[in-house]
Amino acid sequence: MKKLFTLLAFIALATTSWADTTITLPNGLRIFVDDTFKTGYILSSTVSGDLVIPATVTNNGTEYKITDIDSYAFRNQSGLTSVKIEGANLKNIGDGAFSTCTSLTSVTLPASLEELRGTAFMACTKLQSIAIPKSIKVLGENLFSGCTSLASATLPEGLTALPMGLFYKCSSLAQVNIPSTVKTIAASVFVNCAALPSLTLPAGVTQIGNNAFNGCTNLASINIPNGVTAIEDYTFTNSGLVNITLPNSVTTIGRDEFKGCTKLQSVTLSSAMTEIPENTFNGDIALTKVVIPSGITTIGRQAFYNCSALASVDMPNTVTSLGETVFQGCAGLESAKLSTGLTTIPASTFSGCKALKSIVIPNGVKTIGKQAFYNCAAMQSLDMANSVTTMDVQVFQGCAALETAKLSTALTTVPDNTFNGCKALKSIEIPASVTTLAKQAFYNCTVLESIKLNKGLTSLGENALRGTALTELNLPEGVTTVGKALLYGNKVLTKVTLPSTVTTIDAQAFYNCTALKEVHNRMAAPLTIVSNVFYKAQTGTLYVPKGTLAAYQAADVWKSFTTIVEEEGGDPQPGVKGDINGDNVVDIADVNACIDMILGLQASTAVGDVNGDGNVDVADMNAIIDIVLGL
C-alpha cells in the first residue's frame, strides 16, 4: 500500500510539473520548457496567419532555447499561411508537424535544423517552395507528399539518400536538385511529379527504388549512372521519357518498368541483363526501336504489348523463353526474327500484328500456343520448322494475306480454326504425320483450290473445309470420319473420293454442293448417313465398288443419286501420277503394282495407265521408273 501511495504521489508531481512548465505565447504557441537543459519544445497549438517561431522564450526571468517542434504540433491548422523559424536553435521538426496545413504557402527553415521527420509537411497543398538547410542529418519519409503546389525544392549537399515518398504526388514540382552525395533514391520519391521535365542523377547513385519516377508524365530525359545495378518495379511507369539508355552495370530491371511511356521512342538495354520482365514496354505506342542484347534469355508476358510503332524485332538466339502476348497489338511490326533457342511460342505472341509480312518458325520450336499469330493480316508466307509437334487453336486465324504455308512434318493435328479466314491461301499440303483436321481448320479460306491430304489422315472435323474453293476432294485411305458441314455450300466442288475406311459421315457434310458431278465411293457396303449429307448434291454420278450396285441402289440417301454405276479397281487414289498403290508416294512399290496389272495379278485401273494411251502395259511401267529416277 505504501508503494502505491508513493507511485500516485510521483504521478501527481509529474503532472503538476508539466502543467507548471508549459507556457502559451500571445500568438497561440504552447511551449513546454525544460528547466534542466533550459530548452523549449513546441506542443500542439492552435495558430493562424503568419507564424513566427522565436529562437528563445523567457519565463520567470529564465531564457529557454526552442529546439523541437513536437509531432503533429500544427496538424490541420487550415488558417496557417506562413512559417518563419528564427535563430539557430531549432534541431528537430517531428512527424506530421505541419501536415494538412492547407493554406500554408511558405516555410523558412533555420540553418540549425538537423532532423525533419516523416510527413512533416504532407498535404500542404499551397506550399510553393522549400529549401532544406545544409545542417540536415535526417529526412523522414513522405515529407512533402501531396504538396500539389510545390514548384521548387532545394536539397543540400551531404545528403546520401532521398527517402521514400519525399515528393510523392507533388504535381507542380518543376525544379529540384539532387546533391552529388546522394547514393540512394528510395521508392516513390517522385511519383506523379507531372511537371518535372528532366533530372540529372549524380554519378554515385547505385540504387533506384520502385515507383521512383512513376507518373512523371513530363520527364523527357534522365541519366542512369554507371554503377546502378538494379532498377526496381514500376520505376518509370507512365513517365514522359523519350529515350533511355541503361548502362551495362544494370543487371536487372523490374516489372512494368517503362509501361505506359507513350512518348518513348528508343531504348538501349544493358548488355548485362538476362531478362526483360513482364509489361516492360506495355503500351509504349511511340517506341520504334529497341535492341535486345545478346544474353537475354527471357522476355516476359506482354513485354512489348501494344507497341504499335515498333517496326522490327531481332531476337538473339540466347532467348529461350517468351511469356504470353509478348508482341500482341504491335500493329506496325513488319518483321520478326525468332530465336533458335525457343521451344515454345506462347499464346497470342504476335496476335494483332497486322503489318507482319512473314514468319519463320525456327528449328527447335515444338509448341505454338493459342492465337500466336491471330489476325496477322499482312502475313504472306509461313515456314514452319519440322520440330513443331503441337499447335493450339486459332494460331493463324485471320491471316487474310497468307498465300503460302509450309507445315511441320511432325504435326499430328491441325487444330480448330488454325487457318480460319486465310482468304489468300490457294493451296496447301497436309503432312503425312497429320491425323486430324479439326473443327473449322480451313473455314472461309475462300480461294483455297487445292489441298493435298496424305495417307495417315483419319478425321476431318466440323466445317473443316467449309467456305473454300475446292473443286475436288480426294480423301486418302485411312480416313474414318467426315465431319459435319465439311464442305457445306461449296458451289464449285465437282468431285469427291470417299475411301473404303470411312465409318462416319456427319450431317450436311456436302450440303448444297450443287456442282458435284462425281462421288467415288470406295466403301464395300453402303454407310448409313442422314438425309442432308448430300442435300441438293445428288444430281451427279455415284461410283461404287464392283459388285455393290444393288446394295447402293437400295440404300437410303445413296439411292437418291441420279446415276449409280460400278467401277473397277477398288480405290485408285488420284492426284499423284504413277502412284498406283495409293500411298501418295511414287516408288518401286508402284512399279511392282504396275507389273501385277500387266501380268493380270491385279485388276487394271485408270490409275495404272500412266502414259494415258488407254492401256496398262510395259510403257506405263517404264513411265513410272522414269518418275522414280526423276527423269
Rounded to the nearest integer, the mean pLDDT of the chain is 93
What letter represents residue 424's amino acid? A
Q: CA 221 → CA 91, 188, 218, 254, 263, distances in Å?
A: 37, 18, 9, 19, 11
CB 518, CB 498: distance < 8 Å: no
Residue 107 has pLDDT above 90, yes or no: yes
Q: Which of 508, 463, 515, 473 is nearest to 494 (CA)?
A: 515
What confidence tier does 603 reach under pLDDT thresholds 50, 70, 90? low
Q: Would you say 235 and 254 are in contact if contact means Cβ atoms under 8 Å apart? A: yes
The residue whose grid cell reads 508416294 is: 585
Under 8 Å between Cβ of 274 and 250: no
Cβ contact 362:338 at 8 Å: yes
Domains, the chain, in order of start with CATH, read 19-150 (3.80.10.10), 357-462 (3.80.10.10), 471-571 (3.80.10.10), 588-629 (no CATH)
How many Å apart are CA 31 and CA 325, to the nearest integer? 63
Model's pTM, two decimal places? 0.82
Cα(70)–Cα(31) distance, integer angstroms: 10
What 8-state DSSP symbol labels residue 608? G
- The H or E element containing residue 593 is helix 588-598
Q: What pLDDT, in 10s, does the model give residues 177-226? A: 999 999 999 999 999 999 999 999 999 999 999 999 999 999 999 999 99
Show the cell assigned to 9: 504521489
pLDDT, one tens digit per residue, over 323-365 is 999 999 999 999 999 999 999 999 999 999 999 999 999 999 9
Assess contact for 207 and 184: CB atoms under 8 A. yes
How many CB atoms neighbour CB 11 within 10 A?
Answer: 10
Residue 542 amino acid letter:
L
pLDDT tens digits, one per residue of 28-80 = 999 999 999 999 999 999 999 999 999 999 999 999 999 999 999 999 999 99
Asked if 402 and 411 touch (Cβ cutoff 8 Å), the reply is: no
Is it the case that residue 521 has pLDDT exceeding 60? Answer: yes
Nearest-angstrom CA–CA distance, 607 and 308: 55
3-state secondary structure of 29: coil
pLDDT greater at residue 609 or residue 195: 195
Whether residue 609 has pLDDT greater than 90: no
Here the cell at position 552 is 447402293
DSSP 226: B
Length of the chain: 631
Half-sphere exposure of 100 (CA within 13 A, CB side): 7
Place of cell 506523379: 192
Task: Give the other-Cβ count within 10 Å of 2's Cβ.
Answer: 6
Which pLDDT score is estimated for 600?
A: 79
Residue whose C-alpha cell reads 513411265 in the numeric block: 623
Query: What is the CA 159 to chain-centroid distance, rounded?
Result: 40
Confidence of residue 16 (pLDDT cuts 50, 70, 90): very low
Reported as a single tens digit per residue, the pLDDT across 431-475 is 999 999 999 999 999 999 999 999 999 999 999 999 999 999 999
Tens digits of per-residue pLDDT, 480-500? 999 999 999 999 999 999 999
CA–CA separation, 442 vs 214, rounded Å? 47
For residue 66, what is its C-alpha cell? Answer: 526552442
Taking residue 388's Cβ as centre, other Cβ atoms within 10 Å add up to: 21
Residues 6 or more apart whose CB falls under 8 angstroms from that of 322 comprise: 298, 299, 342, 344, 345, 346, 349
State the cell numbers at 531.
438425309
- Alpha carbon distance 96, 116 (integer Å): 10
The confidence band for 616, taking pLDDT boundaries of 50, 70 and 90, is confident
Q: How many CB atoms lie within 10 A of CB 95?
A: 19
pLDDT digits (tens, 9 = 90+) for 244-298: 999 999 999 999 999 999 999 999 999 999 999 999 999 999 999 899 999 999 9
- The crossing angle, in degrees rounded to 10, of helices 588-598 and 618-629 is 180
pLDDT at 19: 40
CA 464 to CA 302: how far, in whole Å? Answer: 32
pLDDT at 392 over 80: yes
Distance CA 219, CA 263 (A): 10
Any idea what the Cα angle at residue 561 is, between residues 559 and 566, rounded to 5°? 80
